[in-house]
Chain A
């Protein structure tokens, strides 16, 4: 056990720091790290990070990753936050989903572009009528020759309006139990039959919350991921990974936020701030422990829900700290606070995470809803 960087890790951190410094300097010292401005330039950031050798660190080499141990992602997240750079684009859950469930042909076609940032992606799972109860979704994909034709309504499809591709979950069979009638597809977002209607978030951000209507959009049958009816397994892989702070790369940002808040305080800090500092430090160490455990090949199942709860509490504590320090007077901090409320909803609500923990880890009996 040693929490310090190994010589190789320290050398990597140094190189990364040097590159970040010169890159940010080239951007006139700053690059938007949040909000609409960031999302307008996210592709640019992703490609620069990849070209410099700092993205896709723990993913397979054959698809463009660097096959480094997972702890390198921790170093990346920490240094990005420290430098005030944007977070690492959060694609891990899509890479895992396609990587684990897609054919070799699909992986070769789509993973490299996803990882190097030349193609942008969104995830089409939730629907207006299918939130926590995802398996009740009603978007259909119907076979028509060599294609499937898609009809339905997806929501919370983050950044769907700038995406080239969507990992879509749709019903291909209505005659079987509902979990078994779902399939997943890689569908092009650049075609007729797709209408974008993003929702404005309560903090004013206009581009994040995608909403998409599919009305006769087509997807080749060859872009079905796995076999028809295997969509639920992919969905569980994706949401499982979506729930880990390590995949989201967010956690280091909380440390940065609370340090910035502390720098604004004269005299004794408010208790909310100190508590947020404690939580952010806990989460930093928790991510390190979790990623270390992966060196043993520990694959996470329902434990991701524990990580998600810890991350949620930390972000919401940081949001409260922002209010305690700055009130509502600072637009960026108010926005950070308002955005923190989404953390207990996105990627599975806090209540769903608790159901999963109670049923699958604690063995407390059926609490996940009967309808399945």
Chain B
């Protein structure tokens, strides 16, 4: 029994954290900086992490990158392409339609309920329908907008959905076991995103509480402010523990157990993340309720990740023995 990250895993986490810190948006204003987005896109593409699953990466490793990217609000696709790559890796037969998933040149993501997720700049989508794989395209962007698919404004300001254009073509099949594992991975990656967003929001709020002064003292020195932030850190530690097991389970446990572990992790981390993001807004006071404060960007990302492959408490309850 050993729940520790390996040295290689810790190294991967640190590398993802560095990249995200260098090129992720440092402010709401940065979200509109196309030059930065282009540099970030180039850097993420160069890592090859979007196809890490077909390169043999474990669920733990994919989750570590997803968490670090969310912590710094990385606003180019990761989660969607990784899930597309994982579908491609598992499906038979190898299919021309899916060729290119691994070349990274034009990019693939996944679609859920006919909506391509995490689709910024991505034209092609894979859909898992039962155990069948379908391939499609995103609705093309208006002429002159380059290769970027037409994205739909959603709650999340850092990742964009796109509508899927028909027709969908059959693109292979997964075994029941593979489909189960893929669903567990989808839950785990969205859960890692939730944890990352929670950690980012929490760090933002702690930083503000250390410098914002009222009544002559930093507001973090008041228990009314400090205690919710302390609770947030405990929730983050609990989230790390429950997520890590679920991420490990994706590859190590039978699919039904992996899914069970992932559902529990997702329910826990989704509740924790919303709580932590709301606290971050409260700690910022009036500023926290403005568009310019990053707190709502974290909250929006957390809400989107909770909703994508959402798990309700009732669903977990139905699985009780």
Contact = CB atoms under 8 A, between A and B. Distances in A.
A161 B75 CA distance: 63
A6 B1 contact: yes
Q: Most B CB atoms within 10 A — which of A265, A285, A303, A361?
A: A285
A351 B223 contact: yes
Interface stretch (B2-10, B29-37, B111-119, B131-139): B2-10
B220 A268 contact: no
Contacts of B3: 1, 3, 285, 288-289, 292-293
A354 B9 contact: no
For chain A, what secondary structure do more than half of its interface residues adopt (helix, strand, loop), or is it mixed? helix
Nearest to A288: B3
Given A5-B1, A74-B1, A355 B264 contact: no
Given A3-B248, A285-B245, A354 B231 contact: yes
A219 B317 CA distance: 56
A310 interface: yes
B206 A362 contact: yes
A364 B206 contact: yes
A3 B223 contact: no
A286 B218 contact: no
B263 to A, nearest CB: 9
B226 A309 contact: no
Interface string B229-243: 111011001101110
Contacts of A289: 3-4, 240-241, 244
Interface residues of B, number: 45
Q: How large is the interface on A (under 10, 10 to 19, 20 to 34, 35 or more residues)?
A: 35 or more
B252 A4 contact: yes
A282 B4 CA distance: 16
Interface in B235-272: 237-238, 240-242, 244-245, 248-249, 252, 264, 267-268
B245 A354 contact: no
Contact of B218 (A303, A310, A365): A365
Contacts of B209: 364
B217 interface: yes
B99 interface: no
Contacts of A75: 1
A145 interface: no
A6 B2 CA distance: 9
Contacts of A274: 313-314, 316-317, 320
A365 B4 contact: no
A296 B4 contact: yes
14 contacts: A3-B3, A3-B252, A269-B320, A289-B4, A296-B4, A309-B231, A310-B234, A354-B226, A359-B226, A362-B226, A364-B209, A364-B226, A367-B221, A367-B226
Interface of B: 1-6, 9, 60, 206, 209-210, 217-218, 220-223, 225-227, 229-231, 233-234, 237-238, 240-242, 244-245, 248-249, 252, 264, 267-268, 313-314, 316-318, 320-321
Given A3-B245, A265-B320, A365-B221, 13 more contacts: A9-B1, A75-B1, A262-B321, A275-B313, A277-B320, A278-B267, A283-B238, A286-B242, A306-B237, A309-B231, A354-B223, A358-B229, A364-B225
